[in-house]
Structure 1
Amino acid sequence: MFPTRAYSRDAEAIVALRDDLARWQVASGIVQWKPGEVTADQVRDQIAEQQWWLLRDDGAISATVRVLEDDPTIWDDLVAPGTGDALYVHGLMVRRTHRGRGLGGVMLEWVESRVRDAGRTTLRLDCAAANTSLRAYYVGLGFTELGEREFPPPYKTLARFEKPVG
């Protein structure tokens, strides 16, 4: 099971998945995403930059990940922009009906292989600091928490993580 590149036509489905997960998060009291924060046009632009990767199950998206080569907005206080030592993950999502199948781990392991293939040494990601279950999930997958950073609205306080990849 390997992720495949997203196509422009996938933008609406990616946004729909994100909004479904955001509604579930809000209903569950989880502070992470809100419905409507991301538009299909934004995702189409990111797809054009080859940032989105998908797992499909019978043609439907079961999991996603967005991979960036640099993330100065989130990391510029710890890592000089353009350092080239890491890949950065955003948009890791698993359809609720696929929960418990380990697809989040599959996606992150695949990104780790991309880190190695690119000659980089580190995988970095972040989440809302208030999302304690996601923080524990990342630590359980071998990520080290590097602390929190507060951002002005519409962003939140984020917890940042990294994992050496060898």
Structure 2
Amino acid sequence: MHIKGGDQNMQKTNNYTIRLATKEEVPQVISLLKDVAASLNKNGIEQWGFLLQGGDDAEIEQAIKNQDTYVLLDEDRMIGTFTIYNQPEEWDLHIWRDKAHDSSYLHRLAVAPSYQGNDLGGIMLDWIDDNHMGFSNTLRLDCVANNDRLKDYYLQQGYQLIGTYDDHYMLEKKMN
């Protein structure tokens, strides 16, 4: 993920700050993602359950070290996170197969449960739209195919449904 102009580590959007996550914040990012996974699970949404068992801890830590993960802050409080990969990860290759290359990938977009309902996901997605200068003009993501609410949210944010594979919706957006 490359950021247009300015300080590559921090930019204000609305009353929030979006910046690269630091190595020291690995436990905090993992905790935020596990809180979101637990909330989803509690609400009967089968997504990210593997995070509760530490299924992606090493990948999350590596993404932060590689400066692929960003955090959304309300003053000094971390309230959201997302990761952008400019090359497909193993999961992306599995889901997108022969279409996997020449795209960037959005992973683990999450908002702390106590902040949900304020369209902070939309703020992060708008920020990505405004600041994305990746290796590709296409940003892709996936979500479980039984989460129509999340799929519909991404459709409202300008993503297009490309199809489904292995019980996952495949969505993409052409970036400016």
TM-score by length of 1: 0.84
Shift of 1:40: 4.2
Aligned residue type for 1:125: L
SS at match of 1:63: strand
SS at match of 1:3: strand
Which structure has more relative contact order (CA 8 Å, sep 6+)? It is 2
* Distance in 1 of aligned mates of 2:41 and 2:156: 24
Q: Deviations over 1:80-139 (max 9, x none)?
A: 53x2xx321001000111112221011112222333x34632211111111111111111
Partner of 1:164: 174
SS at match of 2:84: strand
Counterpart selection for 1:79 from 96, 99, 109 = 99
Query: CA distance change for structure 1 residues 31 and 25 in 2, over 3 Å: closer, same or farther?
Result: same
2:78 counterpart of 1:61: yes
Q: Is the 8 A contact 2:30 2:57 kept in 1?
A: yes
TM-score by length of 2: 0.80
Counterpart selection for 2:149 from 105, 111, 133 = 133
SS at match of 1:61: strand
Query: CA distance change for structure 1 residues 38 and 56 in 2, over 3 Å: closer, same or farther?
Result: farther
- Root-mean-square deviation (Å): 1.9
* Distance in 2 of aligned mates of 1:91 and 1:80: 18
Provide the aligned length of Structure 1 versus Structure 2.
Answer: 156
Q: Is the 8 A contact 2:139 2:174 kept in 1?
A: yes
